[in-house]
Structure 1
Amino acid sequence: MRAIPARLIDLPALTLRCGRVSSVMFGYSVAFGGSAVAARLRRSPHARGLRDGARWERMLTRLGPSYIKIGQLLSTRRDVLPEEVAQALGRLTDTVRAPSRRRIERAVRRSYRDRPWPFREFSWEPLACGSIATVHEAVTLEGHRVAVKVRRPGIDRVMQRDFTLTALVMGVLGALPRLRQMPFRLMHAQVGGAILRQLDFEAEATSLLVLRDNLARFTNVRVPAPLPELCTSETVVMEYIGDLRRFEPGELALGTRRAAARAVLAAVYEMLFVDGIVHCDMHPGNVYLDRDGGLVILDAGFVIRLPEPVRRSFADFFIHMALGDGSMCAQIVIDSAAQVADDCDLDGFRSGLRTLVEDASGARSGDFDLARFAGRLFELQRRFGLYPVPEFAFPLLSLLVIEGMIKAFDADVDFQAEAMPVLRRRNLPRVSTSNRER
């Protein structure tokens, strides 16, 4: 989905959206601040202050889909957020308030207005409600049981306005003296544009097919097959997979948890390091266990294909980090940088990155913190004047989301050791499923 040209921006609507976002944030800032001060003054063990997860949930819900998506991704980091906050944000993954039945039915019937109605039965009560869509059970005219993902009515206008507002913020940041060399506009166009592409349901149906082909070698990973002939720009129709369970580590035996954690890592590494496909949205609302303990990936809206040079650079960086070779990691970052400042201290950067990699090499998930590692890496790049290509944000985002889930399931898994078998194949040409079957 392309950004709206500046001449077509609805300035009154944009102003109203800016006012709403500002008022909601201001109101909740006052509420959080007052609660935190009261909690400190009372010294009450029951005072929640900034740990009021329900309040965070309400705030993000009022702000709208772009902010709900942030909450969904943050909910996976239970190792970072207070449990009560992470648990509340977790409710945003598939229990967001649904539109009225009238609005859903009107949206679905409008999407099929130019073709015959394809369903014998359609359940207007959603099975799940996310930030961008609701999911419904239906039966086709041929009798096939399917799941239908329906885009929320009017969400495209809201998200486009949020995209424009954040573009303005990036422009202001890029004008600050210390940040002028940072490629904020390019980063916003890449990352923000990818978020907007979640509204393109025809592209998501294609991404489901790509994921199925990419993960076909994994017998314990399932991706529902889309029915392209029934999909529209506002609906994705796919096979129905029942008997799914939410990922709740405490309800599963240790062996099952470990198997699930390794299945997730194997699938993510295969997509990322071999094929350059990044799934940035693998939160518990999109990833389930079936009755046999297999992994089911239901959503493909936030799936990115990396440019080949970026895929190779990221995979090479990861394998050399696993090997503890900080010098090679530094050279990869330098060679792949989008911009190098004229006064860049390359020797200082190499020294700093060697220390960072030595600290991280061989760490297990309970000790290794990707968020802290990424933060230190970005700080090194900023300090010494090396700016990465914006596409590097996608694999980092994907791994940050996955890391939170893995730590909850198996604190002893070795991220780097699990990646090595895949990384050794990182630069080998892949034979697609269709070619293997010929």
Structure 2
Amino acid sequence: MARVTGALLTELPGTALRVVRVGGTVLGYALVFGPGALGARMRRRPWKRAGTCLSGLLTSLGPSYIKIGQLLSTRRDLLPARVCTELGRLTDATPPPRRALLESAVRAAYGDRKWPFAEFGWTPVATGSIATVHVAVTLDGRQVAVKVRRPGIGKVMRRDFRLTALAMGAMQRLPQLKSMPFKVMHAQVGGAILRQLDFDAERTALGSLHANLREFPWIRIPAPLLDLCTEDVLVMEYVEGLACTAPEQFSATARRAAARRVMSAVYEMLFVDGLVHCDLHPGNLYIQDDGALVILDAGFVIKLSERVRASFGDFFINMAMGNGPLCAEIIIESAASIAEGCDLGGFRAELAALVTESAGVRSSEFSLAKFAGRLFDIQRRFGLYPVPEFAFPLLSLLVVEGIVQGLDPKLDFQAEAMPILRRRNMPRVALGS
């Protein structure tokens, strides 16, 4: 806490202005929506507008808070399902910076180096809260995609990170909240958000994804052009013909093949490599006419610790096999914190019942989102909180579930994972059982 406070003091003027803006926005929302929330609480009823209000507030606060909201939408162990649903609708699409700012930022990124582009499209082809993407042509005639970090966004997000660290530290001191792992969650979730500012890390992640998935010839990941990348600009191969294609434009056979390819790629990341792309929405995952998958934007790629990778794999395979008791033990052993007086026996019984019930349904009726929601609800009620890092594998699966269900509603998520799970070392499950 002292280090965070010291960092705030060194940037006092900018931080003070940010505090005023954030505080003013929060106060405005409190004045508008506070009476309704208070009335619902007095009537002991859920406030139906909680999710909408929180989503609007985070959008008004800016990119740091939008990213936090997107991640919190997966934490149904901490928040009610209706709130998570609203947060899941958050989008980070914002208007692009003025051309003058963009051009100044890109030219400054190359400094005294020779300008490397024969042509540069200053109108972005994609716009996010952290960066914009442009099409350019290099001096030697190669068409490339250029990702440009928004000018000044780094300072804003780092200040927000320090402010939220202070807020979560204060919340941790409240008696009714002391069992919740706010500090750990902030360090890991906030750290994942800040890493999206690091184009060096993204360039490395692109290279690692290339290497890890090279055995799949039907996966295409644009390679970075190392000699043209800078701290603020990421230059990659340009992939032709990308378009958000509706599933109905493919044949039934092609849709089924594409669905299995998507899941094979995601499961390889989760259970074998431990390097997980957590943002495979339709803007970052494309299916080409020849059936190839194109994966873009490695800004939100997380390296799982070996402990989390192994625990998540063990949980998933035992869930598929209907081994509820072992699933419960894995969750308990990997928990970040367990509330004082937690009824572990009751938790084991409820989780075992959920796993048994889910293992018995037909593949077309299994919903990962519903399963995760019920799992998180059980954890919240018993006061057993998983490590925040556990949210990233689930986030990856939940993001792609909608795409896969649109391609092949009958795909068996659990069965598709088994061949990959069997290839890794799993000492905690009897595969022959």
Tell me, yes or no, whether TM beats 0.5. yes
Pair 1:381-2:382 in alignment:
no
> Cα deviations across residues 86-137 of structure 1 (Å, max 9, x unaligned)?
99x58x46x5311111111111111111533222222212121112111111
Shift of residue 173 of structure 1?
3.1
Q: Which amino acid aligns with 1:395?
A: P
1:28 to 1:371, Cα distance in 2 relative to 1, 3 A: farther
Contact 1:286 1:298 in 2 (8 A): yes
8 Å contact kept, 1:226–1:237: yes
Q: Aligned letter for 2:366?
A: F
- 1:427, CA displacement in angstroms? 2.0
Contact (CA 8 Å) 1:366, 1:407: kept in 2 or not?
A: no
Distance in structure 1 (CA, Å) of the matches to 2:318 and 2:200: 38
Distance in 2, Cα, partners of 1:373 & 1:22:
37
Distance in 2 between the 1:350 and 1:197 partners?
36
Aligned match of 2:44: none
Residue 42 of structure 2 corresponds to none
Structure 1 residues 25 and 297: alpha-carbon distance in aligned structure 2, compared to 1, 3 A threshold: farther
1:258-407 correspondence to structure 2 within 5 Å: 258-340=256-338, 343-363=341-361, 367-407=365-405
- Give the structure 1 partner of residue 187 of structure 2: 189
Confirm whether residue 103 of structure 1 aligns to residue 88 of structure 2: no
CA contact (8 A) 2:70 2:87 kept: no
Does the aligned pair in 1 maintain the 2:126–2:132 contact within 8 Å?
A: yes
| Partner amino acid, structure 2, of 1:238 | M
Q: How many residues align structurally?
A: 406
Gaps of 5+ in 1: 35-48, 429-438
The alignment's TM-score, normalised by the length of structure 2, stands at 0.82
Unaligned 5+ segments in structure 2 are 36-47, 75-80, 427-433
SS at match of 2:416: helix
> What CA distance in whole angstroms lies between the structure 2 residues aligned with 1:17 and 1:248?
42
1:262-309 deviations in Å (ceiling 9; x for gaps): 222111110011111111111122112234232111110010111111
For residues 200-215 of structure 1, what are the structure 2 equivalents within 5 Å? Answer: 200-215=198-213
1:138 to 136, 147, 156: 136
Matched, 1:20 2:21: yes
Letter in 2 for 1:393: A
Q: Which residue of 2 aligns with 1:434?
A: none
For residues 328 and 71 of structure 2, the distance between their equivalents in structure 1, rounded to whole angstroms, comes to 29
The alpha-carbon distance between structure 1 residues 172 and 33, as it changes in their structure 2 partners (threshold 3 A), is: closer
Which residue is equivalent to 1:415? 413
Alpha-carbon distance in structure 2 between the residues aligned to 1:385 and 1:56: 23
Aligned to 1:7: 6
C-alpha distance after superposition, 1:128-150 (max 9, x if no partner): 11121111112222222211111
The secondary structure found in structure 2 opposite 1:394 is helix
Q: Using a 3 Å threshold, how does the CA distance of structure 1 residues 127 and 299 change in structure 2: closer, same or farther?
A: same
Partner residue in 2 for 1:433: none
Q: How do 1:148-159 residues align onto structure 2 when only pairs under 5 Å count? A: 148-159=146-157
- Name the SS for the 1:424 alignment partner: helix
Q: Percent identity?
A: 59
**Is the Cα contact below 8 Å between 1:244 and 1:291 reproduced in 2?**
no
Alpha-carbon RMSD across the aligned residues, in angstroms, is 3.7
Q: Are residues 6 and 291 of structure 1, via their aligned partners in 2, closer, same or farther at CA, if it must alter by over 3 Å? A: farther
* AA matched with 1:156: G
| Contact 1:364 1:411 survives alignment (8 Å) | no
